[in-house]
Structure 1
Amino acid sequence: MSRREQSMVPEPEFRSYYGRPILKEPTWKTPDVPIYLWIGGIAGGSALLAEGAALSGRPGLEHVTRLTAATGAAIGTVALVHDLGRPERFLNMLRVFKPTSPLSVGSYILAPFSSLAGAAAASHVTGVAPRLGRLAGAGAAVFGPPLATYTAALFANTAIPVWHEAHRELPFVFGGSAAAAAGGTAMVLAPVAESGPAARMAGIGAVAELGVSHLMEQRLGMLAEPYEKGLAGRLTRLSRALTVAGLGLSALSRRRPWARRVAGASYAAGSLALRFAVFEAGRESARDPKYVVVPQRERMRAREEEAQRQESGTVSS
């Protein structure tokens, strides 16, 4: 068939494979997993804030963030175990370390982070072994960023189209969202006079989340459709509105202290909506076979065109 000829057969619409979706929807529980993503981000970011507060002499901010990191780690562990169904499944994941498995690596991030954050919080509250407590807090701060972002690698390592194809941007989206949520939570709970670092962290995270999310959707092209329709679309719009509102209220907070707490709550709520949006978009992309078939055909067509160019270049030379 010459290039000028056109096919008389219309492109097929991919709705099912013998009446079944090509991919199975994720079996992870909701709201357990989205909440785990959100709580883990808050805990990881709070551990960083706590160490910064300790170094800069902000006892009120340190107190809040130490307790937030420890509480978030405990809640996140409970949510993860509940999703797994039986506690021994989490313990079994610690029996073998597999660097090629994001779930295995994540287990070895969550376990030491929870222990270190808990020890740092206990030492801070009781005053027992303050040096060991500070050392534990520094260790939790080291594990904080990996805790906030490893779940993005876990999602991208699946066959779910919206998650897999976003492997470049998703860790930065989760990282920015975690910073916004952790900073926002501290803005709500910490003394206003000491919450400046939390506000800056939340603002930077919010801008990063919005910017990278936009770049991700631009690069995904057709695969970004699940973020624009249905439940995932509504959650995405809600997340953006809350995050932008947080930025606007933060700008007012210099003259109106109450606005800082409202801004913090808006940041945290926007981050929670984002985690649910990502989860629901993945489920939607698994339901519709076109999100599997069309990108595969485009990749095959691109490889064929590249092979033809290489072949024509070899012949001409």
Structure 2
Amino acid sequence: MSPDRAPVGALFRRFRERLAAEGPDRLGGPGPRTGHGSKVNPGGGTNGSRAAGPETGGPNGTPLSGTGTAAPGSGSPATGTGAGVARTDSGAAEVRLAPHPPRDVEPVERPRRRGRKGGGGEQLTVPPAEFTSYYGRPILKAPVWKWDIAAYLFTGGLAAGSSILAAGGQLTGRPALRRAGRVSSLAAVGASAYFLVNDLGKPSRFHHMLRVAKLTSPMSVGTWILTTFGPAAGLAAVAEAAPWLPERGLLGLGRRLLPPVGHAAGLVAAVTAPALATYTGVLLADTAVPSWHEAYPELPTIFAGSALASGAGVGLLAAPPAQAGPARRLAVAGAALELWGSHRVENRLGLLSEPYATGTAGRLLRAGRALTAAGVAGALVGRRSRAVSALSGGALLAAAVCTRFGIFHGGVASAKDPRYTVVPQRERADRRVAAGD
């Protein structure tokens, strides 16, 4: 510290003495406060002015600083006039300010925005946005599958239903029904392999899919189901040619071995058939296509019923009425499942049921229901008529085609329109918000 400078304590004491002698205004200070009102000078003056009298405000000339009370006429915010008057309602009105709210009134809460549970926020000031897409383009990319996949859905179900029909004929001693089911199953599974490879583009891609087995992937599981079902159905169908082989030699050995091997293979195919009939429904529901994804409980049921009905149609077409009893029962069971599932997807899904009721899909599904009902009625009525049974079988097969193609076109239509993607998502979000509140 420089020797010619006074200590800080001495400087502070001199400042206090000068402040007490001359007052705060002489030193450029703001003046003493009186209570919670405006700053006043002694003698009733307001801030920024000097009173003519001595700097005392009390009746005995006592200083006002530190008293915590306002002198009469000192310009308090409630009743006075002066610089602090802007804090009163009348003064605020004069200078065009909002009135000061009373101290004893609770502030009004703003309405909170509905959002997360326990969260705040201000009220929305813009209307809810309408569903739209960027330049009118679809939000989802529509499936690239063509008609061959819809045909694959039908032939896979036909192969499954025919193998179940063949097993029923085998176990009940109806050779005509067994033979028709086995041959139809082999033809249908061969067509399914063609349609699938045609969609994949290269036969080697089907082989590449067998490199892994992933239980969480319907496509991988379906590939292995088809790989297991195909050879079993083929071996059972080949066994039907055993009576045409010679009785002696190597071919004679095949004639004796094929029937029992064919029986075992037919049962293996029948056991695998339900998985083959329903996995395609799971495959469609596992996609992001709105009307397929939302119908995940019904699609396997519809495909199972359609498979049974198509298999029954084969039996009614190929077997004589005396041996077609299992086919008629299969037709009734399949029609019940198919009609129930179709009714559900057209009424349970709300907005997402619309693609199944309009356009190409709606026409196909309505035709499928009508053909199914006609086929079942003909199967029950024409028990002794081969012609009526054949017509009923043809109606059931046509109904299966319409049902599979209708489900396919309904899903594709829902993927092309952004409304079927955005609106259900917002409805689910609103339900979650309502449940959280």
Contact 2:346 2:357 in 1 (8 A): no
Gaps of 5+ in 2: 1-110, 114-122, 244-253
2:219 aligns with 103
**Identity over aligned residues, as a percent?**
47
By how many angstroms is 1:6 displaced?
11
- Correspondence 1:292 to 2:421: yes
- Alignment RMSD: 1.9
Distance 1:280 1:179 in 2: 22
Using the alignment, how far apart are the partners of 1:60 and 1:257 within structure 2?
14
Alignment of 1:1-317 (within 5 A): 9=127, 12-14=130-132, 16-30=133-147, 32-127=148-243, 128=254, 129=257, 130-308=259-437
SS in structure 1 at match of 2:288 = coil
The equivalent residue for 2:86 is none
Paired amino acid for 1:295: P
Q: CA deviation at 1:163?
A: 0.4
Q: How many residues are paired up?
A: 305
Displacement of 1:125: 1.6
SS at match of 2:348: helix
Question: Alpha-carbon deviations, 1:159-210, whole Å to 9, x = none?
Answer: 0000000001110011001111111122112222211111110121012111
**Counterparts of 2:129 and 2:335 in 1: how far apart (Å)?**
41
Q: What SS class does the counterpart of residue 230 from structure 2 fall into?
A: helix
Write the distance in 2 (CA, Å) between the matches of 1:209 and 1:248.
15
Larger Rg: 2
SS in 2 for 1:88: helix
Could you tell me whether the CA contact under 8 Å between 2:131 and 2:423 is conserved in 1? no
Deviations 1:104-138 (A, max 9, x none): 00000001100010011112222532222211111
Cα deviation digits, residues 267-297 of structure 1 (max 9, x gap): 1101100111011001100011010011111
TM-score under structure 2 length normalisation: 0.67
Unaligned runs of 5+ in 1: 309-317
Distance, in Å, in 2 between the alignment partners of 1:120 and 1:247 is 28
Looking at secondary structure, tell me which structure has more helix per residue: 1
- 1:186 is paired with a residue whose SS is helix
Distance (whole Å) between structure 1 residues aligned to residue 361 and residue 409 of structure 2: 5
Superposed displacement of residue 256, structure 1: 3.4
What code does the residue aligned with 2:178 have? E
Runs of 4 or more consecutive aligned structure 1 residues displaced over 3 Å after TM superposition = 5-11
Q: Distance in 2 between matches of 1:11 and 1:267?
A: 47
1:62-105 residue CA offsets vs partner (Å, 9 max, x unmatched): 11111111111111111110111110111111110011110000
Superposed displacement of residue 25, structure 1: 0.9
Give the 3-state SS of the residue equivalent to 1:18 in structure 2. helix
